[in-house]
Structure 1
Amino acid sequence: MQCADNSLYCGVTTDIERRLRQHNGELKGGARYTQTRRPVRVVYQEDGYDRASAAKREYVIKKLSSAAKKALFRSSNTPRN
């Protein structure tokens, strides 16, 4: 997710729409990081992982530089608004 200050937030969820609403304060349960950086929007997502594999992939993505993360979602075949 990309925050209003252009920072990036990465996480694991089984329901992207619900999680987006949480991060934007529409539902209870969003991350503390996104509370002061609203609104947030989905700029990249990957599907098809089980929970353990998704957590490992999240770890890899979080280790990337900001430029590498931005290149990853720019190269995605599923752009989001």
Structure 2
Amino acid sequence: MTVWYVYIISTAQGVLYTGITNNPARRIRQHSGLIKGGAKALRGKGPLQFECVFEVANKSVALQLEAWIKRHSRAAKQQLIQRTLQPPVENSLLTAEAIRQMNSALRSQ
């Protein structure tokens, strides 16, 4: 069974973007324009960086969590990033160190 992730990315202008993937490292490279397939909304908005990444059990849960996050305000998204708000689905928030490593790997490419 494939592990899925829900992520929040920030742009250079401070805009928050939420999405899902089964490969966060590949997905942020796509969004950054390093490889084909990123969201049009993020083109030319770099540098991009992960703010938080949730690991969930499957794609269905990922879609539910993504929709839940997108329904919330910027303030609520900031609370998720700061870990003061918990989403209503079972998840495992990747550690700040893991997120730093993914962001560092992106900047070094």
TM-score, scaled relative to structure 1: 0.91
| Higher mean displacement: 57-66 or 31-40 | 31-40
Change (3 A) 1:30 1:50: same
RMSD value over aligned CA atoms?
1.4
Count of paired positions = 81
Equivalent positions of 1:1-80 (< 5 A) are 1-75=9-83, 78-79=95-96, 80=99
Structure 1 residues 13 and 66: alpha-carbon distance in aligned structure 2, compared to 1, 3 A threshold? same
- TM-score of the superposition, structure 2-length normalised? 0.69
- Structure 1 gaps of 5+ residues are none
User: Can you give the 5+ residue segments of structure 2 that lack an aligned partner in the other structure?
Assistant: 1-8, 84-92, 101-109
Q: By percentage of residues, which structure has more strand? A: 2
Q: Residues 77 and 31 (structure 1 numbering): CA distance in 2 closer, same or farther, change over 3 Å?
A: closer
- Alpha-carbon distance in 1 for matches of 2:33, 2:41: 12
User: What are the Cα deviations for residues 28-76 of structure 1, in whole angstroms up to 9, with x where unaligned?
Assistant: 1000011031111111011023111100110000011001101111126
Q: Runs (4+) of structure 1 moved beyond 6 Å?
A: none
Distance of 1:30 and 1:65 partners within structure 2: 24
Find the residue that maps to 1:11 and give its secondary structure: strand
